[in-house]
């Protein structure tokens, strides 16, 4: 797990599109400690359209930490929905670097409180730090993270594969391309929901999950749509109404049979109890939570409230997706396909075969930079 500065710069240049690679070393830093950050443009296989926006690429921020010849990787996927930008994320990581450089990384639970003081409002930056430090800790101790937490990797649930909003023809093509996945997650929430679902059902009768990304603005409209989804055998609906429409979502929940899962309505553990009357489950994401440690707390809070646990992701490389996959044996539903939606993943980590998440026995996250 050794990576020299020269190798790192070489890795950082993969694809030649790292627009900003900033290295620093704060005064008083421990010998042999280095924290480096860089931004990488991840390009999407298909234009990615959900209810609120559309994109062809994502600029994610990577952090690389090194001490004692061992290194750790972390990734931040800034999201406009949560007022995050790549530049603000880089700034937050630069602020956190001096905290990291002088700290004992094995004290990661305490250390997390300190970096959260400088990453406020940029939870994806905190997530990247948490991943990197835990990757380093796992490598230092010589164990994969799932093993550190006593989890059986064979108990990871099958992941769904996401189909973004598109014309019926393109949706049919995407669904055909996704033939190996046993469960699909269909994005809706614009004006062509019915056409999209019909196009999907033209091609497959596999189990479907549907995500409206807050796209329906009226509870009666949402009710009508969900009743139709039930007829199509859809197994759950995610964030049908805007996050702020909690009472309307509770109203909806009393009138439908399939579980309603909160996504945009929840970021951290403290958000969950007030949702328990309106939602059946919670979609936990490392980027919203601010890292793996908070995500573990969220899983336990969600369980304690008798709710279902989904583990989701943003568009990201194998670094962030593998980090989440280590927790997946703890959850009911996995939606960890962000790295499968891009065509220039700079890393390898968890692999997906017929929807099954396959973690290796490499220590830490178990991610490796892809060779040029
Ligand atoms: Mg969602």
Give per-residue pLDDT as tens, 93-131.
Answer: 999 999 999 999 999 999 999 999 999 999 999 999 999
One domain, residues 129 and 159 = no
Residue 238 C-alpha to ligand 1 middle, in angstroms?
Answer: 6
**DSSP state at residue 292:** H
One domain, residues 121 and 164 = no
What total number of domains does the chain contain? 2
CATH at 337: 3.20.20.120
The parent domain of residue 178 ranges over 147-369
One domain, residues 127 and 236 = no
pLDDT-derived band at 371, boundaries 50, 70, 90: confident
pLDDT tens-digit map of 145-204:
999 999 999 999 999 999 999 999 999 999 999 999 999 999 999 989 999 999 999 999
One domain, residues 122 and 234 = no
Residue 189 C-alpha to ligand 1 middle, in angstroms?
Answer: 11
One domain, residues 254 and 360 = yes
Task: Determine the number of helices (DSSP H) and then strands (DSSP E) in the chain.
Answer: 12, 16
Q: CB within 5 A of ion ligand 1: which residues?
A: 211, 238, 263
Give yes or no for residue 5 having a pLDDT over 80: no
Residue 287 C-alpha to ligand 1 middle, in angstroms?
Answer: 13
Residue 74 C-alpha to ligand 1 middle, in angstroms?
Answer: 22
One domain, residues 177 and 321 = yes
φ, ψ for residue 81, nearest 5 deg: -60, -30
Query: Is 211 within 8 Å of 203 (Cβ atoms)?
Result: no
204 token code pair: 């497959």
One domain, residues 166 and 81 = no
Give yes or no for residue 1 having a pLDDT over 60: no
- pLDDT value of position 28: 38
Cβ within 8 Å of residue 31, ≥6 positions away: none
One domain, residues 181 and 289 = yes
Residue 213 C-alpha to ligand 1 middle, in angstroms?
Answer: 6
Query: Is 326 within 8 Å of 291 (Cβ atoms)?
Result: no
Residue 157 C-alpha to ligand 1 middle, in angstroms?
Answer: 18
Q: Which of 85, 116, 142 is the last residue of a domain?
A: 142
In angstroms, the CA 223 to CA 10 distance is: 53
Residue 312 C-alpha to ligand 1 middle, in angstroms?
Answer: 8
SS3 63: strand
Residue 254 C-alpha to ligand 1 middle, in angstroms?
Answer: 21
Q: Could you give the residue ranges of the DSSP H alpha helices within 103-233?
A: 108-116, 123-141, 145-148, 168-177, 193-203, 219-231
One domain, residues 211 and 244 = yes
Cβ within 8 Å of residue 231, ≥6 positions away: none
- pLDDT value of position 24: 41
CATH at 55: 3.30.390.10
Q: What is the pTM assigned to this prediction? A: 0.92
pLDDT tens-digit map of 341-360:
999 999 999 999 999 999 99
One domain, residues 31 and 113 = yes
Closest to 207 in 3D by CA, of 170, 259, 130? 259
One domain, residues 81 and 185 = no
154 token code pair: 């064979």
Residue 9 C-alpha to ligand 1 middle, in angstroms?
Answer: 35
Length of the chain: 372
In angstroms, the CA 367 to CA 73 distance is: 8
Q: Which of 142, 166, 199 is the last residue of a domain?
A: 142
pLDDT tens-digit map of 192-247:
999 999 999 999 999 999 999 999 999 999 999 999 999 999 999 999 999 999 99
One domain, residues 159 and 133 = no
SS3 362: coil
Query: Is 319 within 8 Å of 352 (Cβ atoms)?
Result: no
pLDDT tens-digit map of 263-321:
999 999 999 999 999 999 999 999 999 999 999 999 999 999 999 999 999 999 999 99
Whole-angstrom Cα Rg for the chain: 20
């Amino acid at each position: 797990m050794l990576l020299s500065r020269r190798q790192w710069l070489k890795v950082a240049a993969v694809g030649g599109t790292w627009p900003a690679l900033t290295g620093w070393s704060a005064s008083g830093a421990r010998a042999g400690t280095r924290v480096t950050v860089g931004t990488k443009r991840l390009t999407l296989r298909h234009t990615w359209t959900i209810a609120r926006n559309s994109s062809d690429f994502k600029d994610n921020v990577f952090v690389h930490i090194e001490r004692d010849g061992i290194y750790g990787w972390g990734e931040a996927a800034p999201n406009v929905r949560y007022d995050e930008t790549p530049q603000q994320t880089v700034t937050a990581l630069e602020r956190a670097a001096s905290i990291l450089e002088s700290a004992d990384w094995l004290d990661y639970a305490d250390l997390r409180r300190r970096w959260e003081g400088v990453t406020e409002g940029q939870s994806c930056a905190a997530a990247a730090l948490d991943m990197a430090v835990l990757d380093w800790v796992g490598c230092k101790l010589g164990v994969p993270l799932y093993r550190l937490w006593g989890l059986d990797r064979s108990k990871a649930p099958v992941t769904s594969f996401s189909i973004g909003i598109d014309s019926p023809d393109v949706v049919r093509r995407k669904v055909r391309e996704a033939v190996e996945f046993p469960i699909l997650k269909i994005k809706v929430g614009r004006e062509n929901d019915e056409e999209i679902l019909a196009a999907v059902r033209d091609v497959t009768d596999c189990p479907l999950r549907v995500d409206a990304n807050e796209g329906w603005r009226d509870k009666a409209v949402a009710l009508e749509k969900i009743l139709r989804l039930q007829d199509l055998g859809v197994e759950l609906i995610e964030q049908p109404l805007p996050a702020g429409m909690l009472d309307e979502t509770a109203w909806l929940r009393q009138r439908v049979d399939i579980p309603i899962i909160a996504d945009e309505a929840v970021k951290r553990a403290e958000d969950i109890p007030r949702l328990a009357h309106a939602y059946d489950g919670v979609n936990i994401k490392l980027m919203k939570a601010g890292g793996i440690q908070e995500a573990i707390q969220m899983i336990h809070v969600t369980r304690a409230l008798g709710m279902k646990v989904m583990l989701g992701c943003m568009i990201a490389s194998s670094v962030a997706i593998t980090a989440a996959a280590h927790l997946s044996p703890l959850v009911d539903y996995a939606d960890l396909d962000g790295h499968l939606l891009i065509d220039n993943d700079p890393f390898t980590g968890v692999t997906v075969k017929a929807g099954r998440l396959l973690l290796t026995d490499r220590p830490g996250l178990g991610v490796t930079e892809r060779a040029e």
